[in-house]
Amino acid sequence: MENVITSMSATALRDAQRQGKLSVLEIAEACLDRIEAVNPLINAIISMRSRADIMAEAEDMQNTGGCGPLYGLPIAIKDLRETKGITTTYGSPIHKDNIPAKDCLLVARLRAAGALIIGKTNTPEFGLGSHSYNPVHGVTVNPYNLTRSAGGSSGGAGAALAAGMLPLADGSDMMGSLRNPAGWNNVYGFRPSYGLVPDDPAGDSFLHQLSTSGPMARTVKDLELMLQVIGVPDARLPHATNPFTGMGDQPIKGQKIGWIGDWNGYYPIEGGVLELCTNGLDTLSDLGCDIRPVIPPFAPEDIWHAWIALRSFTTASSYVKLFENPVTRDLLKPEMLWEIECGLALSARDVHEASLISSQWFRTVAMMDVDMLALPTAQMFPFDAKLHWPKQVAGRKMDTYHRWMEVVIPASLIGLPALSVPVGFGAEGLPMGLQLIGKRGQDAQVLRLGHAYHKATQYPQKHPPVVA
């Protein structure tokens, strides 16, 4: 029964519990048994609460009863989000003993919706890099090949979902951190339109608009379930949108999808990636979508230059105090030091010109005669987990620690909704994903398309990893 429970979707588990077919205790016990069996091999879930405490809370929830949309569903929170009473390290030795006294806004919403919080999911130090390793908790590996990376920065979340340890997970995405690990773990990850999922109302609320939180799951219906909980505006934040009420059931036939591919050779992409993505697009074509190759009328290198300026500006603004303190500075990884140094070297004019580029890119996408754009989720298959980051892709040298993920920034730079859907496996049996990128505010439309695709393919259900 355990494997049956842990392979069920979050929506199915919720319905079974409401119908009296499963109890909160049975769901929690099955997930904890699965974690005990496979997490030592994968290292996806960290800072676990004791089994006794979790089961005691599950029993109390079962006895009390509740009707929250996530009631009784086990979840582990990404280790970048403050979680009351559970060690939250940000993957950094600076915070290795940090036990927050309160939840951040996102966690508070999940808890209020009835989620049973059992621990945290692993992430790279301060979320920098698409490979989930850090000096506090070690490396998270891929359930499909335990020698390969699970991606990042939501790598712990993606791996835990794929291996059946959790039915649902949260993540965050600045540079593909919801999409890359989803693609590399054969699950779904959704980066919402900027502003749909509010961050904590503290500090600056205007300048930094690159990162957002979002859901990860094994079905698109589960993404919808979680997004209805966290996608609610907060009046204290200036970029709020209307609350997310669901993806609806409008037909997807006739949707125009612009396939960018490798952007006319600009992106170096490992062999096999584009072929899998085009297979995924063929499925969408069979569902009635209009797939058309497109080359956006914009210089992709300009997008990159704007990105590295605004990203380092954001990173330096957030972590400059750690940089200025010699004690904490010595505990920062080289990539963080590089980001902060680059950010501090920028002039106001540099930041303004980067913002002008992103503004023009937004206008360009808005005027393109397509409903969505499509790109690979990553430029290569999961790499050796012992590496810090890949130094080359398809024979081309990477000049930064994140250049190998350049393919995700067309959506990130301008806050577009982007869904990673699984498209199959390469020659070595490693998963890959496809990004479906909508225009700002078209979150429901993107999820509807992904839901139709999932019903036609069901990759997570048909091809789970064999771990234990």
Task: Give me the active site residues, please.
Answer: 78, 153, 177
- On whether the CB atoms of residues 306 and 205 are closer than 8 A, the answer is no
Cis (ω within 30 of 0) for the bond into 153?
yes
Residues 6+ apart with CB under 8 A from 64: none
CB 425 within 8 A of CB 322: no
CA dist list (Å): 375 to 360, 363, 464: 20, 19, 24
- Residue positions counted in the chain: 468
Number of Cβ atoms within 10 Å of the Cβ of 327: 8
Closest CA to 426 of 195, 216, 271: 271
Residue type, 409: I
**Strand order from edge to edge, sheet including 418-425:** 168-173, 212-217, 188-191, 418-425, 431-438, 372-376, 256-259, 290-293
Question: What's the CA gap between 343 and 328, in Å, rounded?
Answer: 18
Q: Is the torsion defined by CA of 10, 14, 16, 17 positive or negative?
A: positive
414 Rama sector, left if φ>0, alpha if ψ -120 to 50, beta otherwise: alpha
